[in-house]
Structure 1
Amino acid sequence: MSAERFDWRGVVARGLFCLFVVFGAYNPSGYSYLHWLLQGFDWFWAKLAVGALLTIILLMLWRTTRGVLKLRGMVLVTLFCLGAGMTLANLTGAGAFSLGSLITGALLTLAALFTAGLSYSHVDHRLGGISHTEEIAK
């Protein structure tokens, strides 16, 4: 087992990063990369650079999450988010869902999925002493 104590700040930092990237790419408030992109052709090169950076980051998050959690883990995280969201809606008395709240829930689920993918190895190593490695075939 690792001699280092489990530090929850790493998970929180990863979660905030994933929220920033997911909600920066799109959110229903009207202030996102997609909304900025659809405003016209001004700042074309800046929009292209930011779009390329967002695409690279999202693809890296997706690849890491898919590689670490596999399909089963991704389904479990998604089911957990669905259950937690429905429980929260039931406890708060929210009867009907608006399109904006459904989109926000889907984006929160995606951010939680990315956070779990980035944090799983960290948490597993700190709590169980298990290290994850990836073999690279030549």
Structure 2
Amino acid sequence: MQKFTWSGFGLRFLFALVLVLATYNPTGYSYAHWFGNLFPSITAAVALCGIVLTIGWVVYVRATLRSLGPIGLGLTGALFGCLIWLFIDLGWLSLENISVITWLILIVLAAILALGMSWSHVRRRLSGQVDTDDLDDN
């Protein structure tokens, strides 16, 4: 069994952030913009990149749903949502700056995916409970 490390979480977060920002970001340089600009005449490169991104999303979303579950995912989303709300209430964020809010939501989405990929390691370390998938490692 692998131990949870902050560098491991950092790598999971980095890959999740690349996945999220490659799919969409407000700069105009993302798969969503590329696909939208070429549609309906899609090229092989666009199709290949779309499949690679879909594989990444399936891996991350499936792992996140399996480790956090629907309730954990809802609580994690609520936690990050309340943090954003708190920052708005404190005046640190403004709803008028849509670009900043968009970037923040994309970063939060990557953080939720990274947390989902890491949660089994964290739970095992905190509680000693082992996921049945981990039993194959022994």
How would you bin the TM-score normalised by the shorter chain?
0.7 to 0.9
For 1:62 and 1:5, locate their aligned partners in 2 and report how far apart those are by CA, in whole Å: 22
- In the alignment, is the contact (CA less than 8 A) between 2:64 and 2:115 conserved in 1? yes
Which protein is richer in helix relative to its size? 2
Stretch deviating more after TM superposition (122-131 or 87-96): 87-96
Map 1:1-138 onto structure 2 (within 5 A). Answer: 6-40=4-38, 44-134=43-133
What SS does the aligned partner of 1:72 have? helix
Moved more, 62-71 or 81-90: 81-90
Distance in 1, Cα, partners of 2:24 & 2:35: 11
Query: TM-score w.r.t. structure 1 length?
Result: 0.80
Identify if the C-alpha distance between structure 1 residues 109 and 6 changes in structure 2 by more than 3 Å, giving closer, same or farther: closer
SS at match of 2:64: helix
TM-score, normalization by structure 2: 0.80
Do the aligned residues in 2 keep the contact of 1:6 with 1:127 (CA within 8 Å)?
Answer: no
Runs of 4+ in 1 over 4 A off after TM superposition: none
Would you say the 8 A contact 1:77–1:112 is kept in 2?
Answer: no
Tell whether the 8 Å contact from 2:123 to 2:129 is kept in structure 1 after alignment. yes
**Residue 40 of structure 1, CA deviation:** 2.3
Q: What CA distance in whole angstroms lies between the structure 2 residues aligned with 1:49 and 1:5?
A: 34
> Structure 1 regions of 5+ residues with no counterpart?
none
Partners in 1 of 2:104 and 2:11 — Cα distance? 20
- For 2:94 and 2:3, locate their aligned partners in 1 and report how far apart those are by CA, in whole Å: 43
The superposition leaves residues 66-99 of structure 1 with CA deviations (integer Å, 9 ceiling, x where unpaired) of 1111111001110111122122333344343333
Rounded to whole Å, the distance in 2 between the matches of 1:128 and 1:15 is 23
Query: Which ranges of structure 2 fall in alignment gaps of 5 or more residues?
Result: 134-138
Letter aligned with residue 70 of structure 2 = L
How many residues matched?
132
- Supply the RMSD in Å over aligned alpha carbons: 2.4
Matches of 1:78 and 1:103 in 2, distance apart? 15
